Chain A
């Protein structure tokens, strides 16, 4: 009898199959990059890949967009409900409808059944963000739509491939409804090619281990992850932990959008994540479907677990998520959802806030709260159109044992930035600053990461600016006595003529005008007066914290051009500040 909690069956075949599944799913993901047509997939890498067992539980996921994958269970239910028993080898089902388990219309899921004999043994799943799905704006991603019918083509679970051949009707229908049919259909073919690679490699495992053997191992992999997750969650203190975070507004009104979470740690190592009290669904397109809400909730819990738990649906089994119907986290059709990414970020922030009460030794204070999206559309001097879509990422909040990270992707994604030189080469825009914002990191024993600034000077005669920022009103929060991070902000103009813009804005920019954005900084962790004064002095030396802020927020006195720490004066000031504390 094995001594440890080793999985039943052959432990070596089990370990080999686990490694093989990780390798296969990465290869599926790599095939998407190799064969996709669009930049959003090839360069930005906004897509993801997974392998599911026969029931549709995700067994392995590629290192791609984590936010996509928790949505698979809902989507899979819709696929099975329609197609159960009516799929054959070489078939593939696609869907994008947010109200059938999807997320927003540009994200098309493809489900590809892998057969062993007459039975489905597994599924390969590839989700791609497509360049366009039709609707009222290019990219099908507008934040200011008011119903889903404006957002583009809705696809319920339908067979795009029959035994390897693309369905003529569906192909023609999609082709006619999107702005760039070559790209969209090309990327759909890439998804299919990638699914086939997964199926081919799984077939090799079947050869080696037999269908029953593989089935048993896949089940064991899920059980293994569930067992590890449950074991860890059952060490968490029982109770209900609440947190409320806000989105500044939906952009169509000024009303804040509260997200209220209550996480209950239950007996047996499971969690209930309840969103009762959350804002009703809103007019603008930041509503998040339940599947996307769940996805972000799963992802947040995963961040609170140890690293060696496999990333599969065994972890999801321990987490139940509920959100009131008709809320911004479980909207009712035809609520618009295209720009739901922002809401997903805030779901994570709220989850982290609650989880920080459960596992305080692990969770960071709030980070920037999601990408700022800057869109500039206009014409070159020779009348060719241009569209700049630029995402400004941020930082992580201070952590229980180290500072937050500056200049880093939101943990729910893994996107990159666009090089300034590439942007300037392609578009009539000059970036005049891309920098860390001093004093934007929330003070704390462990400082929050600094926000980023980026400025854009328009070189064309005029352009339409669409800017989506948040955290202008509700700053990233600190933890355990740490202070708030710097707020985000938008400004137009220079010097005396500079004026602040709202967080979410659509307006016309003119030639020569300069737009400046500050992304929010991360919250601090722990009492700033407990921060190692040498670390504060180092931050001053490095131009990350000003001498004044060192004094005011940290009680640290730093003097001279060499930013030398004055230990005596610091001790005096800190003592004084400790006494005068409210």
Chain B
């Protein structure tokens, strides 16, 4: 399905349809955040309750509300960019399609065998994630292709037809086809998929080579299976969403955020929803990537702290750092990178995000040995922290912040959420302070400090562990808790510069309006770089370019709005993991690429193996469509209501052992009048910024707040 209601004859490009306003929607576990941007740079925000049964209900309600707030008619909407958790929730809740798999004879169990690692040690009670296709619905086709692409045994077409009949008889709805070595020759796989489609038109069929044709049978199979598994749910959701939007008069096209921080049109999202499994957290990073250059800080650490987890990612030169595969799993048990095997492997490009189980709702408790532990268990948004008064007994990080005076003791979210600070105090006292023999403030500082150490660890995972020094980068904080903890986390890492994004509480939704359309393509090569024929390389790039341009043209992006980023995956011959090296504008030249590879390798691993042969693993293309109406943070005019807050004073305990001090209470809007000296708390509708003693908060470009850090022990 391609959008027909955009791009009229006057050469308009994507995002300019009939209306002019763009809307970003981020569906979270508790709240659905909606941000509307007008071409003159005005921004309107709305937070509404998420409707888990059909998230589209909340989305439509939020859009209606934000339109009313902006005083715009539904027809004024040009485009909606949507971060959806439908893909991820379908997997987590095991609510996907009855899914089948057709594999090469001898290999139907590849999906269940996986890579055989466990995420923890010594845990004999662990359960391996159930494969998304039961063994009964994993069938085998007689066929075999060799590693060089030659055919060892022809495809048994009659067998494929029998498989189609079996799938139908069993009530299977969606099927993945993944054959051994199809990355080298996909003829059998494509033919088998065609036969299934023809013999059983009711089946939804995903061929692994149509998703991501990379070497490694388990990863490719798993990716295709996840795609097949979530296909019907995603299609159903997108259709229902379109209906709901139509019902409120919004006919604008919907774009879906992809895991790589780009967005894809409905047509792509309906065919390859696996690219959108990591849709949720991508928006904030895409936004930070756009925001950085607007404030002359293109290199950033993105720090997003929400209710359940905190996430870190890095942006360099205005681009998010990407990985080519990731494991999607339930919950966050540990920030360790050595943890594999707990989820479903997806070989699709994604933003390199480290996540830890420290959020505002993370529960603090004392374990059997007397150790204070914070998270990963979370009270989430419902029942929420103890101060919400909905029955949570244990204190959360939010309760610790409440006890210390960082948060408004009566209401949060601009007054819309009543809280009771006495409940926070009681929870911290009963469950942490008394068992440890500490004062209540001391205990609250302890909870905060442990959460901060955990979050610093997530940042180390995307910096130090990648050969980068966090002290060279600025911290960009957002999310409900980011600005509350940013200074302390930065100090733990020796960082000197902290920034708070505009509309911090809904920045993920705003960030989606900064995303570019992005389609990813890969061509396996697997030849020594020195032997890579220029003609073969050129042909590979040309084929991907044609696909990429076609995909973008289908979404309304003309040549002028199209950017092509070519890259090559390279490694030393014999290694099993590779590095993605961008191809320069001057083109792919072997010696030059070898030099570039060595430079990236040295940056990542600290040495180069001079003289060792390099292998060309894959060619890659990111085909980017740049919407002319992408949000420009430098020209932002924020709704003053979003920056409003109270003036006043509050007693705040900034350091353990030190007496609480009287801190100024300042609305975010007041920063326009000049810097604010700590100790201070800067409040607005969706954010609380903590400015400790010795620090200074000042308004920066593009709606950001910069916190100048004083001495640690000031």
Using CB atoms and an 8 Å cutoff, list the residues of chain A in contact with chain B: 1-7, 11-12, 14-16, 18-20, 22-23, 26-27, 29-30, 34-35, 37, 39, 42-43, 45, 62-64, 66, 186, 193, 224-225, 227-228, 231, 299, 302-303, 305-309, 311, 362-364, 393, 396, 399, 401-402, 405-409, 411, 414-417, 419-422, 424-426, 430-436, 452, 455, 541-544
- List 27 A–B pairs whose Cβ atoms lie within 8 Å, in order of A's numbering: A6-B371, A6-B436, A6-B437, A7-B370, A12-B445, A12-B450, A16-B450, A16-B453, A23-B457, A27-B460, A27-B464, A30-B465, A64-B338, A225-B369, A228-B368, A303-B124, A306-B368, A308-B371, A402-B125, A406-B113, A408-B128, A416-B117, A419-B216, A425-B215, A433-B107, A434-B113, A436-B113
Q: Given contacts A43-B577, A224-B370, are A20 and B453 in contact (CB under 8 A)?
A: yes
Q: Given contacts A34-B605, A34-B606, A62-B338, are A15 and B446 in contact (CB under 8 A)?
A: yes
Q: Given contacts A228-B368, A436-B135, are A307 and B122 in contact (CB under 8 A)?
A: yes
| B interface bracket (residues with beta carbon within 8 Å of A) | 35 or more
A408–B335 alpha-carbon span in the complex (Å): 22
**A residues near B438, Cβ cutoff 8 Å:** 11-12
Determine whether the beta carbon of B107 is less than 8 Å from that of A37.
no
**B residues near A396, Cβ cutoff 8 Å:** 124
**A residues near B216, Cβ cutoff 8 Å:** 419, 421-422
CB distance from A366 to the nearest CB of B (A): 12
Determine whether the beta carbon of A5 is less than 8 Å from that of B135.
no
Determine whether the beta carbon of A424 is less than 8 Å from that of B181.
yes
Q: Which residue of chain B is the closest to A396 with respect to CB atoms?
A: B124
**B residues near A39, Cβ cutoff 8 Å:** 574-576
Determine whether the beta carbon of B117 is less than 8 Å from that of A436.
no
- Interface 1/0s, chain B 361-394, versus A by CB < 8 A? 0000011111111000000000000000000000
Determine whether the beta carbon of A430 is less than 8 Å from that of B146.
yes
**B residues near A303, Cβ cutoff 8 Å:** 122-124
Determine whether the beta carbon of B113 is less than 8 Å from that of A407.
yes
Q: Which of B181-225 contact A (CB under 8 A)?
A: 181, 183, 215-219
Determine whether the beta carbon of A311 is less than 8 Å from that of B122.
yes
**B residues near A228, Cβ cutoff 8 Å:** 368-369
A433–B446 alpha-carbon span in the complex (Å): 54
**A residues near B460, Cβ cutoff 8 Å:** 23, 27
Determine whether the beta carbon of A419 is less than 8 Å from that of B446.
no
Given contacts A15-B372, A228-B368, A419-B218, 20 further A-B contacts (CB under 8 A): A2-B436, A6-B371, A16-B450, A19-B450, A26-B338, A27-B464, A42-B576, A193-B606, A307-B123, A405-B126, A409-B117, A415-B117, A417-B113, A419-B219, A420-B217, A421-B147, A425-B526, A430-B152, A435-B108, A543-B135
Interface residue B558 (Cβ < 8 Å from any Cβ of A)? no
Q: Which of B106, B369, B372 contacts A5 (CB 8 A)?
A: B369
Determine whether the beta carbon of A12 is less than 8 Å from that of B442.
yes
Determine whether the beta carbon of B116 is less than 8 Å from that of A416.
yes
Determine whether the beta carbon of B338 is less than 8 Å from that of A419.
no
A20–B450 alpha-carbon span in the complex (Å): 10
A430–B147 alpha-carbon span in the complex (Å): 9
Q: Which of A5, A19, A193, A407 contacts B116 (CB 8 A)?
A: A407
Interface residue B434 (Cβ < 8 Å from any Cβ of A)? yes
Q: Given contacts A308-B367, A419-B216, A421-B216, are A63 and B465 in contact (CB under 8 A)?
A: no
Determine whether the beta carbon of A42 is less than 8 Å from that of B122.
no
Q: Given contacts A4-B366, A364-B124, A421-B217, are A18 and B437 in contact (CB under 8 A)?
A: no
Interface residue B496 (Cβ < 8 Å from any Cβ of A)? no
**A residues near B335, Cβ cutoff 8 Å:** 23
Interface residue B90 (Cβ < 8 Å from any Cβ of A)? no
Interface residue B533 (Cβ < 8 Å from any Cβ of A)? no
Q: Which of B120, B134, B181, B339 contacts A421 (CB 8 A)?
A: B181
- Interface 1/0s, chain B 558-602, versus A by CB < 8 A? 000000000000000011110000000000000000000000000
Q: Which residue of chain B is the closest to A367 with respect to CB atoms?
A: B124
Using CB atoms and an 8 Å cutoff, list the residues of chain B in contact with chain A: 106-110, 112-118, 120-128, 134-136, 146-147, 152, 180-181, 183, 215-219, 334-339, 366-373, 434-438, 442-443, 445-446, 449-450, 453-454, 457, 460, 464-465, 467, 526, 574-577, 604-607, 609, 656
A411–B185 alpha-carbon span in the complex (Å): 38
A396–B442 alpha-carbon span in the complex (Å): 45
Q: Which of B109, B112, B136 contacts A541 (CB 8 A)?
A: B136
A310–B620 alpha-carbon span in the complex (Å): 44
**A residues near B370, Cβ cutoff 8 Å:** 2, 4-7, 11, 224
Determine whether the beta carbon of B606 is less than 8 Å from that of A3.
no
- The prevalent SS among residues of A at the interface is mixed
A484–B442 alpha-carbon span in the complex (Å): 56
CB distance from B23 to the nearest CB of A (A): 40
Determine whether the beta carbon of B124 is less than 8 Å from that of A399.
yes
**A residues near B115, Cβ cutoff 8 Å:** 416-417
A407–B112 alpha-carbon span in the complex (Å): 8
Q: Given contacts A4-B435, A63-B120, A420-B180, are A34 and B135 in contact (CB under 8 A)?
A: no
**A residues near B339, Cβ cutoff 8 Å:** 63
**A residues near B574, Cβ cutoff 8 Å:** 39, 426
Q: Which of A4, A5, A401, A411 contacts B122 (CB 8 A)?
A: A411
Determine whether the beta carbon of A34 is less than 8 Å from that of B467.
yes
**A residues near B457, Cβ cutoff 8 Å:** 19, 23
CB distance from A217 to the nearest CB of B (A): 12
A309–B368 alpha-carbon span in the complex (Å): 9
Q: Which residue of chain A is the closest to B466 with respect to CB atoms?
A: A34
**B residues near A415, Cβ cutoff 8 Å:** 116-117
**A residues near B147, Cβ cutoff 8 Å:** 421, 424-425
Q: Given contacts A2-B370, A407-B114, A434-B113, are A30 and B337 in contact (CB under 8 A)?
A: yes
A45–B337 alpha-carbon span in the complex (Å): 12
**B residues near A63, Cβ cutoff 8 Å:** 120-121, 334, 336, 338-339
A390–B147 alpha-carbon span in the complex (Å): 18
A340–B604 alpha-carbon span in the complex (Å): 35
Determine whether the beta carbon of A34 is less than 8 Å from that of B604.
yes
Determine whether the beta carbon of B107 is less than 8 Å from that of A435.
yes
Q: Given contacts A6-B435, A542-B136, are A436 and B450 in contact (CB under 8 A)?
A: no
A421–B180 alpha-carbon span in the complex (Å): 7
**A residues near B183, Cβ cutoff 8 Å:** 421
CB distance from B260 to the nearest CB of A (A): 24
A430–B449 alpha-carbon span in the complex (Å): 54
**B residues near A27, Cβ cutoff 8 Å:** 460, 464-465
Determine whether the beta carbon of B122 is less than 8 Å from that of A544.
no
A7–B436 alpha-carbon span in the complex (Å): 9
